[in-house]
Each structure stands twice: as structure tokens, then as C-alpha cells.
Amino acid sequence: MMKLNEIKSCYLGPEISPEQFVPEHMFIFLAQGVLTGFDGKNRHQLHAGQCCVVRKNHLIRYNKQPINGHFEKVVVIFEQSFLQGFADKYPINLEHVVPQQAYVEVQLSSLLQNFIHSLAPYYQGAGNINQRFAELKREELLLILLQQQPDLGRILFDFRQPGKLDLKAFMQQNYKFNVTLERFAYLSGRSLAAFKRDFKEIFQLSPAAWLTSKRLDEAHFLIEQKQQKPSDIYLELGFENLSHFSFSFKKRFGYNPSQLKNEKSIRLTDRE
């Protein structure tokens, strides 16, 4: 039998948006490399030989770190239509007791190891598996997960939309994510109109103005106090490119982010 670190990347289920939003539940097994995820509050690392379930309706940012030039993973998407069909075939615990964390750790049992190995004969190149077999393998994986961790049923088969959240706390946690206002509204349990109205009442600014201001304030702190490079932080703070970040920074503070970093370095040198 091939080793787990010899598994090639594989993707089962529908394509999902590369946006920093998880629209469907997914199972991730990492064969090679390190995968770091940020959920707005905590960072989570997945190392080779580890696996987890990522819950839908969360904002997540991923960072892939190859080891010796290699990064391989198995990703299985459990979209709602698949889960509803599965629930029609098998008895499921449908209690609505759903934990808050975005990542749910899954132990790599012998059953899961055998499942991962069983995918290899069906590879068709570029990580694809014949669609007929893919559906069977997804069902097999879900049966294993529910047998191994029955509480996952409470997560995977909760089909409710996000409930109304404390908007101030929600935005303070998630302002670094580069997603649309419609996405923020949905995840906070509001229509777009209600989101904008509630936002203005709480922050006394429009969402766009507040997000830009909040991100730039954080950038200023990271550059001045933490000595981080503008090129290392702009994506982490929700800016699409470095030029847009630099332009916005100068417009807000009157000088370029590189000037702030250089001036801070000079002051530190003088003190020494």
C-alpha cells in the first residue's frame, strides 16, 4: 500500500469560489506540506497526516506552505444538496447544537487512512475522479466520519441560514477579510439594506469607509510598532494589491507606508 505522503492532490465535489468565504462544508486531509488557516480570530495549522472539517458560512484565509517543494491535499466538499440526499437514505441526528469554531479536528483513524488510500486508483489526472465513483466515495467518507464522530451530524446537517449576530463584534473580528458587503450582510444574518442601516447606527460611518479606516489603522500599527513590511501585510488586511494599499495609506496619513517604516527604523537606530 502506498504511503500517505505519496497521495496526490484530489478534489471531490462541486467547485467552490476562491473567495475568502466557505459556502459549503468541506473535509480536508493534508498529505504533504503545511496549511495555515485564519478565521478572523485564531490561526489553525494542519500538518501532513492530519485532517479536519471546515464549517460552511465562515470567513477563512488559507496559506499553503510546501515542504521540500511539495504540497498535496485531499478536499471533499459536502454541499447541501448532497447532504440532504444523504439524510434521505440514512438516519441522522438532527439536533441543532452547533459549535462556533470554523475548524473541527478529525482524528486520522485506520478507516480514514484506508479511505484516503482507496482514492488513488480512481485518479484521472489533475486531481479529478470519475464522477460516478466520486459520489460513492463522498458517501463512503461521510459514513466513516459520522461513525467515528457522531457529533459531526449536528454540524453537517444543520441547514439553517446564519442567525442575526452582534454586528459590532462580528465586524471587529472579520474586517480583514476581502469579501463583498453582501457577504458580510448574509453572515451577520441581515439583508443588505438592514446591514447598512445597522452598521451606520453602530459605527457612524458607511461600511466601506469604516473598513478602509480600520484596515489602515491596523496597517499603521503593524508597520510602526511591529516593523512589518507593507508588502507582507496588505493582503492580510484585505487590500487587493500593493499599489491600492499604498495609495489609500498616503491619502489617509499623508505619507507612504515605506516612509513610516524607514522613519521608525531611523529612530530606533538613533536610540541605540
Per-residue pLDDT at 47: 96
Dihedral (C-alpha) 27, 30, 34, 35: value to the nearest 10 degrees? -20
Per-residue pLDDT at 248: 94
Per-residue pLDDT at 3: 79
- Strands 10-12, 43-47: parallel, antiparallel or unpaired by DSSP? unpaired
Grid cell digits, residue 126: 489533475
Q: pLDDT band at 34, cuts 50/70/90?
A: very high
Confirm if 78 and 26 have CB atoms less than 8 A apart.
Answer: yes
94 has pLDDT over 70 = no
Per-residue pLDDT at 93: 67
Averaged over 261-272, what is the pLDDT? 49
CB under 8 Å to 190, separation ≥6 — which residues?
164, 167, 198
CB burial string 48-74: b at 16+ within 10 A, e below: bebbbbbbbbbbbbeeeeeeeeebbbb
For the chain, the structural domain boundaries read 4-156, 167-271
Closest by CA position to 182, among listed 43, 62, 17: 17
Residue 7 buriedness (CB in 10 A; 0-12 / 13-18 / 19+): buried
164-204: per-residue pLDDT in tens?
999 999 999 999 999 999 999 999 999 999 999 999 999 99
205-250: per-residue pLDDT in tens?
999 999 999 999 999 999 998 889 999 999 999 998 999 999 999 9
Q: pLDDT band at 101, cuts 50/70/90?
A: confident
CATH topology identical between 4-156 and 167-271: no
Among the ranges given (92-96, 107-111, 251-255), the one the predictor scored with the smallest mean pLDDT: 92-96
Q: pLDDT band at 267, cuts 50/70/90?
A: very low
Query: For the chain, how many helices (H) and strands (E)?
Result: 11, 8
Domain 4-156 is in which class? mainly beta
Averaged over 63-76, what is the pLDDT? 93
Q: Mean pLDDT in the chain?
A: 89
Q: pLDDT band at 92, cuts 50/70/90?
A: confident
CATH fourth-level superfamily of 167-271 = Homeodomain-like (1.10.10.60)
Averaged over 242-268, what is the pLDDT? 80
Residues forming beta bridges with residue 7, ordered by sequence position: none
Per-residue pLDDT at 91: 82
266 has pLDDT over 50 = no
The 3-class secondary structure across 232-266, one letter per residue, is HHCCCCCCCCHHHHHHHHHHHHCCCHHHHHHHHHH
